[in-house]
Structure 1
Amino acid sequence: MSLILNVLWLVFGGVWMAVGWLFAALLMAISIVGLPWARSAVVMAGYCLLPFGMQAVDRTEVSGPDIGTGALGTLGNVLWLVLAGWWLALGHLISAVLMAVTIIGLPFAWAHLKLAGFALWPVGKTIVPR
């Protein structure tokens, strides 16, 4: 079932949001200051391409605490929110509203809402199979 949902997701706009995430990663990588956030944006682009059957969890649950899960991770998330997180989350929210217009689009709207929440605070999280 995840395969079918992921294929339909790609056809109905998942690719465009992944491109948005890759564009954010590129902007972060170009500005040397944003390099630490570029990795989070690339991970999120992969999650945005195939969201069904995957979930975002804190990295502390998977690999234990590290530099991105403590106070520096919180600071990184605040900076991310200001620089790129809000407009990516807004893109997901708009996509969710457009998908929720039809009954068939409801699973995709729900996926966009999950991605919008993750877009606001991605540092210190990782993607794992459900």
Structure 2
Amino acid sequence: MNTLGNVIWVLFGGFFIFLEYLIGGILLCLTIVGIPFGLQSIKMAQMALWPFGKRIEYMNYAPGCLSTIMNLLWLVFGGILIALSHLAFGLLFAITIIGIPFAKQHFKLVSLALTPFGRRIVDC
């Protein structure tokens, strides 16, 4: 079922979300200051390509205050806009019964878009 959901996800827009995150991550990695943010964007691209069968969890170790500072910078410089776009798409998909599984994936991406530092993607 996860494979079918991922194939439908990719065919109906998931590939474009993946490309946006990937291109943004590569562009951010061109600067030394942007490398941590680019890596988080590439992590979000991985999640955006095949979201079914994956979950987001906090890392076991304490990342410290640097993770908090990086999350705050992420929020200020675009994280809120990314999260709001996933929230809007999630609400749009939740209107229909068929779209509810895709809405759940967008809501999963909302939490990652708000605070990507200190989280990891694991298979279910």
Is TM more than 0.5 here?
A: yes
User: Among residues 95, 110, 121, which one is paired with 1:116 in the alignment?
Assistant: 110
- The counterpart of 2:70, out of the listed 60, 71, 76, is 76
User: What is the rounded CA distance, in whole Å, between the counterparts of 2:23 and 2:81 in structure 1?
Assistant: 12
Hey, what's the Cα distance between the residues in 1 that align with 2:80 and 2:20?
12
Identity of aligned residues (%): 40
What letter is aligned with 1:81?
L
**Unpaired runs of 5+ in structure 2?**
none
Number of residues of Structure 1 aligned to a counterpart in Structure 2: 124
For residues 20 and 81 of structure 2, the distance between their equivalents in structure 1, rounded to whole angstroms, comes to 10
SS of residue matched to 2:56: strand
Q: Which amino acid in 2 is paired with 1:14?
A: G
Aligned residue in 2 for 1:102: 96
2:76 is equivalent to residue 87 of structure 1: no
SS of residue paired to 1:72: helix
Cα displacement string for residues 13-60 of structure 1 (whole angstroms, at most 9, x for unaligned residues): 112222222233134223321211111111110011111111111122
State the Cα distance separating 1:84 from its structure 2 match: 2.3
User: Is the 1:81–1:120 contact (alpha carbons within 8 Å) kept by the matching residues of 2?
Assistant: yes
Task: Provide Cα deviations, 1:94-123, integer angstroms capped at 9, x if missing partner.
Answer: 221222232101110111011011101001
Residue 23, structure 1, aligned to residue 27, structure 2 = no
Q: Which runs of 4 or more aligned residues in structure 1 lie more than 4 Å from their structure 2 counterparts after TM superposition?
A: none
Which residue number corresponds to residue 36 of structure 2?
Answer: 36
Amino acid at match of 1:13: G
Are residues 90 and 26 of structure 1, via their aligned partners in 2, closer, same or farther at CA, if it must alter by over 3 Å?
farther
RMSD of aligned Cα (Å): 1.5
Per the alignment, residue 7 of structure 2 pairs with: 7
Greater displacement, 89-98 / 71-80: 89-98
Question: What is the distance in 1 between the residues matched to 2:64 and 2:12?
Answer: 37
**AA partner of residue 36 (structure 1):** P
Q: TM-score, normalised by structure 1?
A: 0.86
